[in-house]
Amino acid sequence: MNIRKIFKTLLCLLAITVAMQVAAQGAMKATVDVSVNCNANGPMTLSLSKGTTCVSYSMQLFTSDIATRIGDAVLVNYFSNQKTEKRTPNLKDAKFVDMGFCVLPEKEYTLLTLGYDKDGAAGFVTRTSFTTPKHKPAGNPRLTCTVTALGPDSVTVKFSPNADVAGYAICQFEAGSIDSIVAHHGPMMGFSNPSDMIRRFSGQSAYTKEMSHTWDDMIPNYDYEICALPWDKDGVYLDIVTTPVKTALLGGEGVAAVNIEIGQFGGSDDTGYFQEIVYTPNDQAAVHRDIIITEEAFNAKDMGERGVIDMLQKDIPQDPYWNQYRVDRAKWNALPATTYIACSMARNVKGEWGKLHTKKFTTPAKQ
């Protein structure tokens, strides 16, 4: 008996068995067959047929440049984390717009569809790529945007669609920032154009009726763009309607000042300790900046009052919390039994700084 031949035969049989098991498992995975019909004179439609082991499916539409970045495993996790709707029916010429999808004309898209079996296990990903045709809007869709209220840190806009607008999305941006946001954040967040970004960032998936929306926590005397994205009844995006706005001035031309109140000290060794401080600007302040500093650091040779003033007057555009416009209820990291100085300065609408306001306090010892 040739032991080597027997061993080799057993290895071959084992390999064949494993391969058959893998093939069987693959054959049992849920699959879907998807086709897209690009209609230049009407709505885009899709048809979908579930495989024998497919009970439900999820789908999402991306521009093709984004879809190529999304691997199958990533898509499975994405659908799970986003709790994407699981659909069950087979589809025949279902309208894209009825499925919640809208497109830009003359753009390459990929529809990603993932099937699930009866146990909810993810199956194969189907990638259906297509190019949308040039499109003539259905009817005469028109969306009007009217600024109805404008304050130092808020704006209210009324959106009025006509009967040919199937839906619209809205968003607010700093003036001139849209393209840079798409370039920097789009690939990570799944969009590559302003239209898809506005749809993604909008307060809900679609507005369909006239309504007013107020944006708060805006920067006073600052340029913004209110963007509204309408689409027609064929589910094709129309031109973005951009309304430029500039928030009103905050403060006055008098002396800008800030009142400082020392609040609660709290925390623990496990969570860290904090000190609450309330900085309240007067009605002449256009902006104020606030810090706390240990008494030891304040009295250092290279700091002192002059050093703190220079620090507070320095612009830090990358810090979104540096400029404060209303009451600042700050919660600072702080150590027990330590003397600090809370500092604040305010500037009026003419760009004139008021004096440095300080308040010394000592945090309590550990209990």
Mean pLDDT over 198-205 rounds to 88
**50 pLDDT more than 50:** yes
Query: Rounded to an integer, what distance in angstroms lies between the CA atom of residue 308 and that of residue 304?
Result: 6
Q: What is the pTM of this model?
A: 0.83
Query: Rounded to an integer, what distance in angstroms lies between the CA atom of residue 194 and that of residue 21?
Result: 47
pLDDT digits (tens, 9 = 90+) for 243-272: 999 999 999 999 999 999 999 999 999 999
**14 pLDDT more than 90:** no
**134 pLDDT more than 70:** yes
Mean pLDDT over 182-194 rounds to 94
Of the chain, the percentage scoring pLDDT greater than 90 comes to: 90
**215 pLDDT more than 70:** yes
Mean pLDDT score of the chain, rounded to an integer? Answer: 93
Read off the pLDDT band of 39 (50, 70, 90). Answer: confident
**283 pLDDT more than 60:** yes
In the numeric block, the tokens 């700093």 are attached to 174
- In Å, what is the CA distance from 174 to each residue of 213, 245, 352? 17, 10, 25
Query: Rounded to an integer, what distance in angstroms lies between the CA atom of residue 138 and that of residue 233?
Result: 6
User: Minimal CA–CA distance to 320: which of 274, 294, 289, 277?
Assistant: 289
* pLDDT for 21: 44
- Cβ atoms of 192 and 222 within 8 Å: the answer is no
Mean pLDDT over 292-297 rounds to 98
- Cβ atoms of 306 and 289 within 8 Å: the answer is no
Of the chain, the percentage scoring pLDDT greater than 70 comes to: 93
- Cβ atoms of 221 and 249 within 8 Å: the answer is yes
**48 pLDDT more than 70:** yes
- Cβ atoms of 220 and 194 within 8 Å: the answer is no
**107 pLDDT more than 90:** yes
Query: Rounded to an integer, what distance in angstroms lies between the CA atom of residue 254 and that of residue 348?
Result: 7
Read off the pLDDT band of 5 (50, 70, 90). Answer: low
Mean pLDDT over 110-138 rounds to 97
* pLDDT for 41: 86
Could you count the other beta carbons within 10 Å of the beta carbon of residue 232?
Answer: 22
* pLDDT for 28: 82
**367 pLDDT more than 80:** no
Full set of structural domains in the chain with CATH? 31-131 (2.60.40), 143-246 (2.60.40.10), 258-362 (2.60.40)
Mean pLDDT over 87-103 rounds to 96
* pLDDT for 4: 53
**18 pLDDT more than 80:** no
Give the H or E element holding residue 95: strand 91-95
Residues found in the chain: 367
In the numeric block, the tokens 């309590």 are attached to 364
Order of strands across the sheet with 241-246? 167-174, 223-231, 241-246
**162 pLDDT more than 70:** yes
* pLDDT for 295: 98
* pLDDT for 25: 46
* pLDDT for 203: 77
Query: Rounded to an integer, what distance in angstroms lies between the CA atom of residue 194 and that of residue 182?
Result: 6
In the numeric block, the tokens 């100085």 are attached to 341
